[in-house]
Amino acid sequence: KMSLRFALVGNPNCGKTTLFNEITGSTQYVGNWPGVTIEKKEGKARRVQEDVKIIDLPGIYSLSPYSLEEIIARDYILDEKPDVVINIIDATNIERNLYLTTQLIELGIPVVAALNMMDAVEARGDKIDTGALEKGIGIPVVPTSASKGRGVTELVDKAIQVAYAAASGTAKPQAQIYDQEVEKYIGNIETNIVPSLGKKTGNARWTAIKLLEGDEKVLEKMEVPAAFLKDIEACRKQIESHYDNDVETVIADGRYKMISGIVGKAVKKKSGSGSLTI
Ligand code: GDP
Ligand code: K
Ligand code: MG
């Protein structure tokens, strides 16, 4: 029997608090994140044999370091290393919500998705093929309706399974989701620069992507030497001239392209209710 820690991550209004309450019941306590007035909630999972602590991270749309909420969530995941991140996806807004999912997966930590608000999807007459979604994003997906208490036990059980699998070292290699041109530079930085950096943060691939994106927090944290900064800048210039666009946009477009491919396969909207009708 292990002591586990799961972090809840999702866009604002995806049902995170409802799910947190449903999982933890009356065991929760509320404080603040150090130095800021953003609420931090923790609790223990009910109805499970294992000792599972649940942390509610701030609602965010992305893991870029532009808002306090994003920085808190990202730093918690990188520095405190929860055993599993439970990513809550608002199924009625799946395409937008999956943007954060692609970034969480990139961190290389165990992630389980809660496909929440499935009752609302069903009420509209839409269908989501969970299997196709799992295959597309490469992580387990559990349908839930937090406000109706549905799927919550299954979700926590799945997260426990994933935690055990991760502890036994059966993690899969990450999918390459960007164009060959972009992957070439990611691979280059991952192999030639990341291993030589004194400090470590995240996994090597994630760090390489962040360096390529010019993520200031990561550049700062890693204390990247000037010679490497020059090499990274050269990679950025190559990408920018190849795509005639800035690197951040090229990388974001890679994520959007992957997401729309997955959504096209997994979501069937009721006839007449949208452009995704198949
Ligand atoms: P948070 O901002 O992510 O913490 O979201 P909340 O838990 O506050 O939920 C936002 C709204 O969605 C509230 O009105 C909830 O009652 C509602 N909600 C949460 N989960 C579900 C669900 O599974 N189905 C439906 N229909 N509504 C939900
Ligand atoms: K809310
Ligand atoms: Mg909330």
Averaged pLDDT in 10-residue chunks for the chain of 278 residues: 93 97 90 89 93 96 92 94 97 97 93 98 96 95 98 97 88 79 96 90 91 93 93 97 97 96 94 53
- Two structure tokens written together for 277: 């009708």
Res 95: pLDDT: 96
Residue pair 212/247 in contact (Cβ under 8 Å)? The answer is: yes
> Which ligand lies nearest the alpha carbon of 22?
1
Q: What are phi and psi for residue 87, nearest 5 degrees?
A: -95, 115
Is any atom of ligand 1 closer than 6 Å to the C-beta of 146? Answer: yes
Query: Is 213 annotated as a binding-site member?
Result: no
Cα–Cα distances (Å) from 224 to 9, 218, 220, 240, in that order, read: 29, 9, 7, 21
Is any atom of ligand 1 closer than 6 Å to the C-beta of 117? Answer: yes
Closest-lying ligand 1 atom to the alpha carbon of residue 123:
26
Q: Which protein residue has the closest C-alpha to ligand 1 atom 6?
A: 15
Cα 1 to averaged position of ligand 1 atoms, centre (Å): 32
d(CA 1, CA 10): 28
Residue pair 171/179 in contact (Cβ under 8 Å)? The answer is: no
What is the Cα 91 distance to its own chain's centre? 15
ipTM over 0.95? The verdict is: yes
3-state secondary structure of 42: strand
Res 250: pLDDT: 97
Res 271: pLDDT: 67
Using alpha carbons, select from 55, 59, 78 the residue that is nearest to residue 217: 78
Res 278: pLDDT: 46
Is any atom of ligand 1 closer than 6 Å to the C-beta of 153? Answer: no
Strand partners, 54: 6, 43
Is any atom of ligand 1 closer than 6 Å to the C-beta of 18? Answer: yes
**Number of helices followed by number of strands (H, E) in the chain:** 11, 9
d(CA 275, CA 256): 17
What pTM was computed for the model? 0.94
Closest-lying ligand 1 atom to the alpha carbon of residue 118:
23
Residue 22, C-beta contacts closer than 8 angstroms, at least 6 positions apart: 146, 149, 152
Res 171: pLDDT: 64
Which of 11, 16, 18 gets mutated to test ligand 1 (max ligand atoms within 8 A of its CB)? 18
- Two structure tokens written together for 231: 């090499």
CB under 8 Å, gap of 24 or more: what pairs does 159-164 form?
159/6, 159/52, 159/84, 159/86, 159/112, 160/4, 160/48, 160/50, 160/52, 162/84, 162/110, 162/112, 163/2, 163/4, 163/6, 163/83, 163/84, 163/110, 164/2
β-strand pairing of 127-128 with 111-116: unpaired
Cα 111 to averaged position of ligand 3 atoms, centre (Å): 20
Q: What are phi and psi for residue 171, nearest 5 degrees?
A: -70, 140
Res 277: pLDDT: 46
Cβ-based neighbour number of residue 87 at 10 Å: 26
Is any atom of ligand 1 closer than 6 Å to the C-beta of 145? Answer: yes
